[in-house]
Amino acid sequence: MKIKDVVAYPLSFPIPDHLNVKLGIGRAIKRDAILIKVTTESGLVGWGEAHAGRAPGAIAQLVNTTLRSLVLGYDATDVVGIWQRVYQMQLASHGMGAGAAIGLSGIDMACWDIRGKAVGWPLYKLLGGASKRIIAYAGGVSLGHQPPQELVEEARKHVEHGYQALKLRFGDTPANDIARGEAVRAAFGDELDIMTDANTAYTVADTRTVMPALDAINAAWLEEPFAPHDHRSYRMTAGFGRTPLAAGENHYTRYEFHRVIEDAVITILQPDLSKTGGITEALRIAALASAWKHTVNPHTSVTGLNMAASAHFLAAVDNPGYYEADVSRYNPFRDELTSSVCEVDSQGYVTPPDAPGLGVEVDEAALAKFPVIEGPGYI
């Protein structure tokens, strides 16, 4: 099953003004994705998702030129060999770093899709797991900056659906963030798990102010108060309270996670399978985390491909955490481009698909509906 072709499709859709969401990194005006199609000489096709990295056209171009040329002719089932080839030629020396890791993630995911289809097994089974229900939290691009009572009403819809956990977007001002967290805790009591995400918008002083309030509402974690490389600020913040620190969606490969784990400051690990090096590398990260008794809580991206991959992954590792459910009010990548997968049930759980490979169908005719929109996705 040698690889005959690799094609990356950069895609975008604008977000209508009335559905814009404000986060710590700005107001979202569009969403991007990259779908990667790997075709074998036998005709078997696999699909993967690469994160857009806020530069979808650039990453797709990297895949369609350099990364494609590195993997053509490889057996699609040789995921370790393909991974090492790209790592050696792009990440280890003189390469494109994060962009290459993102592109490799989509190629790797597509190869795992091929592996599952070749033997007729769903991915979780191929990874050594079993079909199981995985607890989800309402995340995605939602629960953003808004007055506390409006936030409570948005949260109520998810709680009534069955969610036992949700994530609030912090990174506004400490006072506003605290008010939002306290309002949600007061509205729903102690049974609801409340995660918080500052989207790298905090200063150390901000976390010093917010941490006591997070402790008081028994928050499950504070996610990405700082940029991923700002190890000193994370280390300082860990002493301000008992709320765990979370990060990982912007950490690439096991080598960056090795530093995070050894620092023993960030204890909630969140690799994104469309960014960190794909399924092959996420399994290595999970194994590292398992040795330290940490759970893995993958950050999910925008299409059904990564959503399904994350569910399969969580069903196969021995230290699964939460599944991040996309609850965006408008996401045609989720609703039109790929088949519906990982629906959250009335008790707040998801189950990985049972069809071979990722178990996701891609509507290739729909690709033309989403031409890439270059430029920033947040303003």
Residues 132 and 281 in one domain: yes
Contact 274, 308 (CB under 8 A): no
| DSSP per position, 215-280 | HHTT-SEEE-SS-TT-HHHHHHHTTS-SSPEEE-TT--HHHHHHHHHHHTSEEEE---TTTSSHHH
Residues 135 and 72 in one domain: no
Over 90: is that where the pLDDT of 377 sits?
no
Residues 96 and 210 in one domain: no
Question: Is residue 33 situated within a structural domain?
Answer: yes
Mean pLDDT for 152-173 is 96
CATH of the domain at 184: 3.20.20.120
Contact 233, 260 (CB under 8 A): no
The neighbouring-strand residues paired with 194 are 166
Return the pLDDT at 23: 78
Residues 113 and 134 in one domain: no
pLDDT in tens, 11-35: 999 998 877 777 788 888 899 999 9
Contacts of 229 (CB under 8 A, 6+ apart): none
Mean pLDDT of the residues in the chain: 96
What is the CB neighbour count within 10 angstroms for residue 332? Answer: 16
Contact 232, 246 (CB under 8 A): no
Number of domains forming the structure of the chain = 2
Return the pLDDT at 293: 97
Question: Is residue 375 situated within a structural domain?
Answer: no
Residues 137 and 113 in one domain: no
Structure pTM?
0.97
pLDDT in tens, 185-221: 999 999 999 999 999 999 999 999 999 999 999 999 9
Residues 217 and 92 in one domain: no
What is the CB neighbour count within 10 angstroms for residue 195? Answer: 24
Residues 111 and 148 in one domain: no
Expressed in angstroms, the distance from the first to the final Cα of the chain is 44
Residues 90 and 160 in one domain: no
Contact 34, 8 (CB under 8 A): yes
| DSSP per position, 39-108 | EETTS-EEEEEE--TT-HHHHHHHIIIIIHHHHTTSBTT-HHHHHHHHIIIIISSSS-THHHHHHHHHHH
pLDDT in tens, 97-151: 999 999 999 999 999 999 999 999 999 999 999 999 999 999 876 688 899 999 9
Question: Is residue 8 situated within a structural domain?
Answer: yes
Residues 27 and 135 in one domain: no
Rounded CA Rg of the chain: 20
Domain containing residue 205: 124-350
Inter-helix orientation angle 204-216/174-188, to 10°: 10
Residues 84 and 98 in one domain: yes
Backbone angles phi, psi at 143, to 5 degrees: 50, 45
Residues 111 and 132 in one domain: no
- Reported as a pLDDT band with limits 50, 70 and 90, residue 294 is very high
Among 152, 277, 205, 154, which Cα is nearest to 298's? 277
Question: Is residue 358 situated within a structural domain?
Answer: no
Contact 63, 137 (CB under 8 A): no
Mean pLDDT for 319-345 is 94
Among 351, 253, 363, 368, which Cα is nearest to 311's? 351
